[in-house]
Amino acid sequence: NTTSYVLVIEPEFDKEVTFKIGKTDTLQTIQAASPGAITHLGLSIETEEPGMDDFGQITGDAGDGSFGIFPPQIIVGTASIGRLLAPEGTVITAWQNDGEDLIGSTTVGNEQGEYKGDLSTTLSPLGANLINVMGFDNEAQEWMFYDPKTSLVNFSNINAMHDNVAYYINVTQSQTVSLGGVLYQLNEGLNIVPWGEYAGVNRLSIGPKDGLLSLIQDENLVRIWRFDNEYQNWSFFDPREAFATANTLRTLNDNEVIWLVVKRDVYSTTNGTSLNLHGVSHSTRSTSGSNLIIWRHGPIGSSKDLETSTAATPVPSAAASFGDGTWIVGSNIQPGTYRSSRTGGGCYWERLSGFSGGFGDIIANEITDELSLVEISSTDAGFSTL
């Protein structure tokens, strides 16, 4: 039988990666590439050292999620022992730092044969602009991929793009394109997108503390990550008090892709919709589990925390009110002068020119423990408060 391997690694960038077939170092090494790279590499050894090898524990920390959850590097190809293909079940491992850190492991399997998925058709409008697609299986805690290049496509294991699932789409240049009947604005580089048309309730934005209160109270939430496709950077929310002023993710927006990192498995209902999250019991290398989800759990209605007046002078009244979250001016709330309804505990607000989640959207902001007045203009796109 023809055999091959697929090896997922999370290396330290631009450092040498070495490999072993069983216990024996291969003749081949590579330099670690950028996240999301897929590389074809034939591995070989002349003779195999006797004895069985196992996967061992991953010790490298380049993929620990300290700066965001980037896609891994994936290496595919064949492994040979004395010019014969390695048999099914042979262990392949990858190492860095002179063999001190194990950064990935897999076993040789039977070659899959010709790619029979439909992504070549589904993604055909992208043409040569497409680099690759990656997905993440939350339950198995494993990455999947599709690469259209001739040398890599037969190793691909994403056969279809499923509605209501998030994917990483890598492109060489920005492109506005219709895929599966939905219009996407893809930016040069990495794009993390919800696939398919969203026909659900148009829910309001909500602060992380409110949207995931039960996870925080149970001390189960580790961190939330969100990637800004336009600015190619990450924002995060960490529930620990030490990160209160450092957090950069202020709101959870409807139909937006986020990562939820949790310690334990949990099935939770938030604002009438369900979250099925996988924790450490599904992870082989961490004390938590990562879950790539589309956020569709915000409130339908509003609560009463802030008071407003549409008077020309800044005199507050109780004509309208709203609570924590992100609100569309002219739709969810009206322009006017607003006053916070309580003091202590810290009140954060920001006037917004848009909803990308980037710092460039902020017109003005403030954090205070005192009663606060703010004038929301009719030209503002939105207003957010925590």
User: Is the pLDDT score of 71 beyond 90?
Assistant: yes
Higher pLDDT, 48 or 164: 164
Model confidence at 265: pLDDT above 80: yes
Task: With a cut of 50, say whether residue 366 has pLDDT above it.
Answer: yes
Summarize pLDDT for 81-101 with one digit per residue, the tens: 998 999 999 999 999 999 999
Tens digit of pLDDT for each residue in 215-262? 999 999 999 999 999 999 999 999 999 999 999 999 999 999 999 999
| pLDDT band, residue 336 (cuts 50/70/90) | confident
pLDDT of residue 57: 61
Q: What is the pTM assigned to this prediction? A: 0.75
User: Who's near 212: CB < 8 A, 6+ residues apart?
Assistant: 221, 224, 252, 260, 270
Tens digit of pLDDT for each residue in 135-153? 999 999 999 999 999 999 9
Residues of the chain with pLDDT > 70, as a percent, come to: 86
Q: Calculate mean pLDDT across residues 334-358.
A: 74
Total Cβ atoms within 10 A of residue 119: 19
Checking if the pLDDT of 322 tops 80, the result is no
pLDDT confidence bin for 310, thresholds 50/70/90: very low
* pLDDT score recorded for residue 199: 83
Average pLDDT, the chain: 87
Q: How far apart are CA 384 and CA 328, in angstroms?
A: 9
- CB-based burial label for 304 (10 Å; 0-12, 13-18, 19+): exposed
pLDDT at residue number 342: 57
Cβ atoms of 257 and 193 within 8 Å: the answer is yes
The domain spans of the chain are: 3-110, 119-194, 208-295, 306-385
* Selected residue with higher pLDDT from 366 and 267: 267
- pLDDT at res. 272: 83
Compare 307 and 109 and report the one with higher pLDDT: 109
Q: 324 with 211: CB under 8 angstroms?
A: no
Between the CA atoms of 131, 10, 69 and 141, what dihedral angle is there, to the nearest 10 degrees? 100
**How would residue 338 be classed by pLDDT, with cut points 50, 70 and 90?**
confident
Q: What are phi and psi of 28, to 5 degrees?
A: -100, 140
**Which range, of 10-19, 279-288, 359-368, 373-382, averages the lowest pLDDT?**
279-288
> Does 317 have pLDDT greater than 60?
no
Q: Is 217 helix (H, G, I), strand (E, B) or coil?
A: helix
